[in-house]
């Protein structure tokens, strides 16, 4: 198990958002979290990444274990966010060049060797199948890229710091089918090395790429299991109603 949540609760300004979350995510798998809007999926991701606490009124109880470390007992929050990367629904282009976007986190972590930074930049852009599209304009502003390219750039920036876990919140929601297919193939490939957790409203996408699927409703986990079983014979009536 790479990542585990034990009796985890989240509230904002005393309003309960997540209730008694107990989950285990296995190493080198793609797990999909599905459920209706407002059920707590994004809050769950941001709690795992420790960015939820940046909002006022955030409170949590319980444990989130990354291997043997309770991430909420670690004072070095930056190290947790490096080890658990988060890619947002809307791709983020920092106001700098394509290259500087990719190596931003690596620089922040202290790497200064230019040759090493160049190597990381090329490796990550190749990994997300973006190198051939941008190799002649690496110094151009990242904002000039298309939506699909920006999403792959965001993933390149996240994997540049070598995380253990990669979280993605609706990464294909605004993309065309070709870009969606490219992102899905990329995530399946990355899962050979990382634990991937994706929030998606697209049940077909979850069925295509996830080995495990989690169904959430009203801030709680209703059911979790192998994707094939979740989509063919789930245990809970709530899951059946949502999936079928």
CA atoms within 13 A on the CB side of 116: 8
Domain boundaries, position 71:
3-92+161-243
Question: Mind listing the pLDDT tens digit for each residue in 158-203?
Answer: 999 999 999 999 999 889 999 999 999 999 999 999 999 999 999 9
Asked if residues 63 and 6 have their Cβ atoms less than 8 Å apart, the reply is yes
User: What number of residues does the chain have?
Assistant: 244
* Alpha-carbon dihedral angle through residues 69, 71, 74, 75, given to the nearest 10 degrees: 160
* Helical spans, DSSP H, in the chain: 41-48, 77-83, 98-102, 104-108, 114-127, 131-134, 147-159, 177-190, 203-209, 227-232, 237-243
Distance separating the N- and C-terminal Cα atoms of the chain? 30
CATH number at residue 192: 3.40.50.300
Q: What is the share, in percent, of the chain residues with pLDDT greater than 90?
A: 93
Q: Residue 174: its pLDDT value, please? A: 84
Q: Is residue 136 part of a domain?
A: no
Pairing of strands 15-25, 3-12: antiparallel
Q: What angle do CA 228, 184, 132 make, to 5 degrees?
A: 160
pLDDT at 92 over 90: no
pLDDT confidence band for 109 (50 / 70 / 90): confident
CA angle 22, 25, 30 (to 5 degrees): 135
- Per-residue model confidence (pLDDT) at position 1: 75
Domain contains 186: yes
List the one residue out of 160, 214, 168, 152 whose CA is nearest residue 49.
168
Mean predicted lDDT score pLDDT of the chain: 95
Tokens 């941008």 belong to residue: 134
Q: Quick one: pLDDT at residue 82?
A: 93
**How many angstroms separate the CA atoms of 241 and 1, rounded?**
30
Q: Summarize the confidence of residues 143-158 as an average pLDDT.
A: 95
Q: Residue 87, CB half-sphere, CA atoms under 13 Å: how many? A: 28
Look at residue 130 and tell me if it is in a domain: no
3 phi, psi to nearest 5 deg:
-135, 135
Confidence of residue 9 (pLDDT cuts 50, 70, 90): very high
Instruction: Say if 140 falls within a structural domain.
Output: no
Tell me whether residue 34 is in a domain: yes
CA distance 39 to 179: 27
Judge whether residue 69 has pLDDT over 80. Answer: yes
Q: Report the run of H or E that residue 211 belongs to, with start and end.
A: none
Query: What's the confidence (pLDDT) of residue 47?
Result: 98
- Residue 21 DSSP symbol: E
Task: Indicate whether 221 belongs to any domain.
Answer: yes
Rg over CA atoms, the chain: 18
pLDDT higher than threshold 80 for residue 117:
yes
Position 191 scores a pLDDT of 96
Q: So what's the pLDDT on residue 207?
A: 96
Q: What is the pLDDT of residues 199-221, one digit of tens each?
A: 999 999 999 999 999 999 999 99
**For residue 111, what pLDDT band results from cuts at 50, 70 and 90?**
confident
Q: What is the domain count for the chain?
A: 1
- Determine, yes or no, domain membership for 31: yes
Specify if 237 maps to a domain. yes
Whole-model pTM?
A: 0.94
């Amino acid at each position: 198990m790479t990542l585990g949540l034990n009796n985890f609760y989240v509230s904002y300004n005393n309003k309960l958002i997540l209730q008694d979350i107990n989950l285990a995510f296995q190493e080198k798998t793609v797990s999909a979290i599905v459920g209706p809007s407002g059920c707590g999926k994004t809050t769950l991701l941001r709690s795992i990444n420790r960015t939820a606490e940046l909002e006022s009124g955030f409170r949590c109880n319980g444990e989130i274990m990354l291997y043997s470390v309770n991430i909420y007992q670690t004072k070095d929050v930056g190290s947790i966010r490096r080890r658990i990367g988060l890619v947002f629904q809307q791709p983020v282009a920092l106001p700098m060049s394509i290259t500087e976007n990719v190596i931003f986190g690596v620089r922040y972590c202290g790497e200064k060797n230019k040759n090493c930074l160049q190597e990381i930049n090329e490796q990550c852009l190749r990994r997300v199948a973006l190198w051939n599209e941008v190799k002649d304009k690496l110094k151009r502003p990242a904002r000039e890229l298309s939506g699909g390219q920006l999403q792959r750039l965001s993933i390149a920036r996240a994997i540049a710091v070598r995380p253990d876990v990669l979280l993605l919140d609706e990464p294909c929601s605004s993309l065309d089918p070709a870009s969606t297919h490219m992102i899905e193939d990329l995530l399946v490939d990355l899962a050979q090395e990382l634990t991937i957790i994706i929030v998606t409203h697209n049940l077909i996408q979850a069925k295509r790429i996830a080995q495990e699927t989690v169904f959430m409703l009203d801030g709680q986990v209703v059911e979790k299991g192998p994707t094939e079983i979740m989509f063919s014979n789930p245990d809970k009536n709530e899951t059946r109603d949502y999936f079928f």
